Amino acid sequence: MLRLEKITIAQGDFLLKADFRVTPGRKTAVIGPSGAGKSTLLGAIGGFLPLAGGKLWYRDAEITEAKPGQRPIAMLFQDNNLFPHLSIARNIGLGIRPDLKLSPEDHARVAKALERVGLHGMGDRKPGELSGGQQSRAALARVLVQDRPVILLDEPFAALGPALRHEMLDLVHDLSDEANATLLMVTHDPQDVRRIADDVIFVEGGRAAAPQPAAALLENPPPALQAYLG
Amino acid sequence: MVAGGFVVAAVLLAFLGIGLRAEVGRGIGPAEWAAIRFTVLQAALSAILSVACAIPLARALARRRFFGRGFLITLLGAPFILPVIVAVLGLLTVFGRSGWVNALLQVAGLPTLSIYGLHGVVLAHVFFNLPLATRLLLQGWQSIPAERFRLAAQLNLPPKMVRRTLETPLLLQVVPGAAALVFVICLTSFAVALTLGGGPRATTIELAIYQAFRFDFDLARAALLSFIQLVLAGGAALVALWIIPNFSLSAGLDREMRRWDAQPGLQSMMDAGVIFLGSAFLLVPLGAIVLAGVPGLALMPLSVWKTAGNSLGVAVLSVAVLLSIALPMAGWISTRRAGGAEAIGLIGLSASPLMIGTGWFILINPVTDPVPLALLVTALINALMALPFALRILVPPTREVLTTYDRLSRSLGLQGWSAWRWLVLPRLRAQIGFTAGLTGALSVGDLGVIALFADPDRATLPLQMYRLMGAYRTEAAAGAALLLLAMALALFWICDKGGRWRAEA
């Protein structure tokens, strides 16, 4: 279980506070107006932004100071999720071992992950030879082999068209179910929330609220969320 | 950091050596003053002439489109990898005592020219630095947004007004920096002064170090001169650092830009004339090397091939040393704020090869015989000299790679050797190849510190070529020049192509 204990993130004048726990295995959407700090929140959980205060826990271990790669977290960003000079198979392999010294079993895992996301036999290609949707699938295959209990998605599908984005969200939904992972994803679109989210974290006014069940929240939004949804 | 420490140590050791022997109390005598005066004079003249000729050439290249323009602009980069001694031989073939120009003058019944002395040194420096200055100015011209030229065309500004509104402000910005860079480069010139200068009236400080060392074996005087060189070149580099433009060695300067102010008629003819003269000045000596060299190839003594092998070894070692210093330094500098690279560049600009060579010789001499180390020392110093260029090429893309893929690498735990192996090296392949090519070409053609240390058994090809020239074996020297030119070009080409071969997007 991921726990944010009275954390404060400071970026210049901007302050964001959060104090809640995320139930394991739930899929949580992070929504809120632009500039409210959705990406900031995920960046801090991922370890890319230092905390100005508070503590971050996973189960019984404090991970406030842990490096990004040492946290029980796999993360996808808005862009640059793949190294363009490495083949898809190597990009995925980096999720198993950063030095790419892969055993035959590791190679088999990479192949299996490729197959799972529908990129069977495309391991030797470079990202540039794939379509945008296929690149997203490759990045998800890496998340799959990273095999971390928490997955953070900072709008990695924002550049895709609506149909492809829905396809990716469905894939994310299935993958995190299969891995029994906790998912936190930033989104702008209430449709996305309805599509895969169990819970919603609403970020606004310098505060990230505790996760609320999505269906109930969207049915009966508090005034701030109502203003955002329009 | 270790690599940076190595560089600083190498240079500091040289300073220590010089400090041990320089007897500043002995004072600066008339010979030293003459060397200082000549050094500054020839550097100033070279800088002024190079830039003065570069302005019309760059202007013509900027506003004209013609067949071979891209080739000509590529050629402007060639002097970077052209061995100095080869260029000098080419210039001698054209402008020398029995060269082509003098032959024409004789036919016409006019008095002949001598290339030796001040004007020869300046001529050779202009040959090398006119292309550099032209590239810098051309870069400036191309930094003027196309929209401004479009606006000028829309307002129907005459060429005079285009010059005043667009070109003059740009020139005021770029010219001082270009001149300063040429000035600093020419301050530490050795091979040109060695071959075309000499005598009490045409000796640079660098050459005076060599003479004190080789002819008189007066280490105290060589150390004193090294100290003077350090103060002069270091001071000039410090001043120049503020105004030297951020030149790029590889940027594509052949971007198409429509110029509406380019006019037919007189202006077009003058541009054509300038381009013709400029390219002839650069191409004819190069052609002369090939023409004179082909028959000379058969006349080369065996020693030429042996020294060619030595030169190749020196070049390969230089490249290896350079890369093993420059890459970690580039990585280190890239993670810090801008500023460090400039400091290292400053060390490179202010430390002249013969000065460092003298310092090291003084330190090595009491311990062991420095002569057997001649080739090793040459390779190390060549690597050191290429370092400022290498960092200029490597640091910006390293910084970009580390910024772009910072979060992804951190989220994957990609660090240390793995980050080099899978991220930085593959992304920087093209730049690494280019750097290695430049270093290899510079090193294989260098005639500098090897002249200090060498004995008859240990020479590099440029030194052997110089000896052949000194022994008036002109044809054999021309053959060696062609061989050396081919080696420099081949080294550059192989490394540069190797870096880009099957390079991924």
The string of DSSP letters for B321-362 reads HHHHHHHHHHHHHHTS-TTHHHHHHHHHHHS-HHHHHHHHHH
Q: Does B412 touch chain A (CB under 8 A)?
A: yes
Question: Tell me: the pLDDT tens digits for B125-170?
Answer: 999 999 989 988 888 887 777 777 777 778 877 777 777 877 888 8
Pairing of the two strands A207-208 and A199-204: antiparallel
More confident residue, B452 or A127: A127
Residue B349 and residue B392 in contact, taking contact as beta carbons nearer than 8 Å:
no
Q: For residue A67, list chain B residues with Cβ-Cβ distance below 8 A.
A: 410, 413
Q: For residue B423, list chain A residues with Cβ-Cβ distance below 8 A.
A: 83
CATH topology (fold) of A2-72+148-229 = Rossmann fold (3.40.50)
pLDDT of residue B24: 60
Q: Is B412 in contact with A80 (Cβ distance < 8 A)?
A: no
Phi, psi (5° rounding) for residue A117? -90, 5
Q: Does B411 touch chain A (CB under 8 A)?
A: yes
CA B85 to chain CA centroid, nearest Å? 12
For an interface test with A, the pick among B411, B414, B424, B429 (most A C-beta atoms closer than 10 Å) comes out as: B411
Instruction: Identify the three-state secondary structure at position B217.
Output: coil
With CA atoms as reference, report the closest residue to B41 among B232, B172, B174: B232
Beta bridge pairs of residue A17: A8, A207
Residue with tokens 């019309």: B56
Q: Does B432 touch chain A (CB under 8 A)?
A: no
Length of chain B: 505
Instruction: Identify the three-state secondary structure at position A40.
Output: helix
pLDDT of residue B250: 45
| Nearest CB partner across the interface for B504, out of A67, A73, A84 | A84
Cα(A71)–Cα(B474) distance, integer angstroms? 71
Question: Tell me: the pLDDT tens digits for A69-84?
Answer: 899 999 999 988 999 9
Burial class of residue B159 in the structure, from the number of CB atoms within 10 Å of its CB (0-12 exposed, 13-18 middle, 19+ buried)? middle
Q: Give residue ranges of A with CB < 8 Å to any B CB.
A: 46-48, 67-70, 73-75, 77, 80-81, 83-86, 90, 94-95, 98-100, 126, 128, 146
Phi, psi (5° rounding) for residue A101? -85, 85
Q: How many CA atoms lie within 13 A of A186 on its CB side?
A: 26
SS3 letters across B142-155: HCCCHHHHHHHHHC
Q: What is the mean pLDDT of residues A85-98?
A: 93
Cα(B406)–Cα(B80) distance, integer angstroms? 34
Q: Is A99 in contact with B417 (Cβ distance < 8 A)?
A: yes
Q: Which residue of B has its CA nearest to A73?
A: B411
| Ordered structural domains, chain B, with CATH | 2-22+30-291+298-500 (1.10.3720.10)
Phi, psi (5° rounding) for residue B371? -60, -45
Structure tokens, B365 = 């001499």
Cα(B250)–Cα(B253) distance, integer angstroms? 8
Q: Is B413 in contact with A98 (Cβ distance < 8 A)?
A: yes
Question: Tell me: the pLDDT tens digits for B70-123?
Answer: 888 888 888 878 999 999 999 988 888 888 888 888 888 888 778 888 989 999
pLDDT of residue B26: 64
Question: Tell me: the pLDDT tens digits for A145-204?
Answer: 999 999 999 999 988 888 999 999 999 999 999 999 999 999 988 888 988 999 999 999
Q: Does B291 touch chain A (CB under 8 A)?
A: no
Question: Tell me: the pLDDT tens digits for B205-216?
Answer: 889 988 888 888
pLDDT of residue B51: 94
Q: What is the gyration radius of the CA atoms in chain A, in angstroms?
A: 18
Cα(A135)–Cα(A141) distance, integer angstroms? 10
pLDDT of residue B254: 47
Split at pLDDT 50, 70, 90, the class of B257 is: low
Q: Is A85 in contact with B427 (Cβ distance < 8 A)?
A: yes
| Nearest CB partner across the interface for B414, out of A70, A77, A98 | A98
Nearest-Cα distance to chain A for B418, in Å, is: 5
With CA atoms as reference, report the closest residue to B426 among B505, B348, B320: B505
Q: What is the mean pLDDT of residues A14-32?
A: 93
Q: What is the mean pLDDT of residues B462-486?
A: 90
Q: Is the pLDDT of residue B505 over 50?
A: no
Q: For residue B413, list chain A residues with Cβ-Cβ distance below 8 A.
A: 67-70, 98
Q: What is the mean pLDDT of residues B426-440?
A: 91
Q: Percent of chain A having pLDDT more than 70?
A: 100
Cα(B323)–Cα(B490) distance, integer angstroms? 19
CA B60 to chain CA centroid, nearest Å? 24
Structure tokens, B376 = 């090793």
With CA atoms as reference, report the closest residue to B357 among B467, B451, B438: B451
Cα(B419)–Cα(B412) distance, integer angstroms? 10
Cα(B42)–Cα(B14) distance, integer angstroms? 26
A112-148 burial code (b ≥16 CB/10 A, e <16): ebbebbebeebbeebbeebeebbbbbbbbbbbbbbeb
Largest CA distance in chain B: 79
| Nearest CB partner across the interface for A77, out of B408, B421, B427 | B408
